[in-house]
Structure 1
Amino acid sequence: MRAVRLQAVGRIELAEVPDPVPAFGEILVRVEAAGICGTDRHLYKGEFPCAPPVTLGHEFAGEIVGCGPGVALDLGTRVACDPNIACGGCEQCLRGRTNLCLRNVAVGIHRDGGFADLVAFPAHRAVPVPGLHPHHAAFAEPLACTLHGVDMGAPVPGERVIVLGGGVIGLLAVQLARNAGAEVTLVTRHPAKRELALQVGATHTAATEDEARALLPKGADLVLECAGVAETVEMAPRLTRSGGRVVVLGVLPQGETVRIEPFDLLFREIQLLHSFINPFTQTRAAAMLATGRVNVAPLISRIIPLSEAAATIANPAAAGEVKVLVVPG
């Protein structure tokens, strides 16, 4: 079969590899759609820890075509992969913080993932998504991660929320905050993404910090940082009202630092929180996609074949691009 393999930092290629064989407790899935994530580009550049050589792809959905010993799931069932495999026995798992598992193994990062014709992974990490289009089912993982961050920020009706960054996480966060009853302003320099934000539920948009401040002179109750760049992480507290909250969902390169003024956070009692992956939120995400509470169709910028995935990951995202889906087909 074909697979997009990260052979080493800075080296990614489409390769022919043996078909995977599901082990005990695993299923074999024919991949129907897989999303390219900013983390994939961080992995390619060596900015996020992984275990090459490895087949990338942690946002994917497909059809069960085989089961290993100990599994009795119906062949033909469409599933979305929850890629994080917690050990269940470390101190973090035992206190319910499975996203902080000391021995977490992530599909598409530490073991072979979904940029391939076929993938094997544990059956208990498969979320059934019957009736959901595979292009939409592939959004279950990024939506689950966004849900965790918005849960931490806990917006309530009538609050004002600023979302920094118009990528897929930012545009999903816009919809979740609006679903919670908040007014939402998206801040991004890209005109097409501002237009898209209005389409999916933003109340206002702004291109710059100054424009956002003009809209909300006292600041927002909650700021969701979804861009993953130092500029917006530093901007987030400045756009937060006294007594407000900041949740950082964006992923900065490992080792990068930002400038924060602790006195300002102290004097205005700003909560500065960070959100990591998707503990116990994947099933909720799949249900939201199935019922249409979150609209992902407008977020699909391009659909490409597996043969173009390596080059797409190795190069920066095109201006205005939100989500590129890989369809092995």
Structure 2
Amino acid sequence: MSLEEENDSLLEEKMSLEEENDSLLEEVFELLEGPDCDNPEVILLIGRSGAGKSSLVNTLHMVLTGRFYMIAKQGSGQAQTVTLDLLRYNNCGVILHRISDTSTRERMTNLLPRLPHILDCAGLADENTPKLREIIELLIGGYIRPGTSIDALEKKQEECGIGRLKEVFKPDPAWKVSKIVFMQGCIDDIPKNLIQCLREVLKISNSATLTRKYQCEVFVLITKYDLVNKSSDLSLDGNGTENSISADQFEKAETEIAEAFCNVGAIGYNTLRWVSFTDNVGFSESQIRNRALKFLKKMIEPGVPKMPEPTFFDRLEEYVYQTLHKLRRAINRQLRERHFNCVSIIGCLFLSFVFIYVMYCLLRASV
């Protein structure tokens, strides 16, 4: 292929990608206009230091506004994360006047409040401890106010004792997380302990209703995809850096992290490859924009239907049933051990029925 033919091919590919991006942006607008986005998603970015959480915020801001601002401080090279607090970026950090394209700005005037909110947390250690499980649960449950210093939170945890922080903080429904994005660099070691810690938090159930306490959809973002070299993926430019990996190594890492999340939903469908705007990325702006728009679309698409929160009377009714069940078992046990006489049995049954009848009347009266 001649140089001219190669340039023509690249130009056609770029035009095709830009057309796809325009179509993706239109799909995002249509989703935002739907009733499912009346309450914006709250997305928690979680992962180890250097996974690219802050870079993701900056990239989304760039894609939506057309202007690159470092609204989230990010490290570079071997530097550790600079995020020390729980930061919240309302509506992806986008402000209307920053949108450079006039038609996009006009379209976004009414849709901006429907964009997801993003929570960027400090990098977490690769451990599975009661201390970390409590902090993750507080993050997901909306107990921690945006702007909170993670270091100060850990000190407060030491003062109160592990497991007591819920008594200190009051949850806010506006902070409660609806989607979790676990970020993992393709060249980094997989933090299996941290993943197991997150899995255990998501398994917590309500003892009264036996439903999951935190109904969050989990996504995995494989970052630093630009470091994949000699890939069959035509969208890659293989930059051949010292830290680059082969396509086979990348797919192996992708499989390993999917296996680590094997018990948290259909993670195969929810695994995405990600590239951020940085200084030395072998991707064109159109390629990065394409991945960012696909990610944003997935974040605002309707997910798995969530069960409604149990009301006070739902929990009360469940408690009545469980109490009756325990009482019946206790009576049967006492009968087997012959500790009860007939008068005692009749008295217990009478009190049980009175208790159930009173609870039933209270429930019906409240409806």
| TM-score, with structure 2 as normaliser | 0.24
Q: Which structure shows the bigger proportion of residues in helix conformation?
A: 2
The structure number with the bigger radius of gyration is 2
Q: Which structure shows the bigger proportion of residues in strand conformation?
A: 1
| TM-score, with structure 1 as normaliser | 0.26
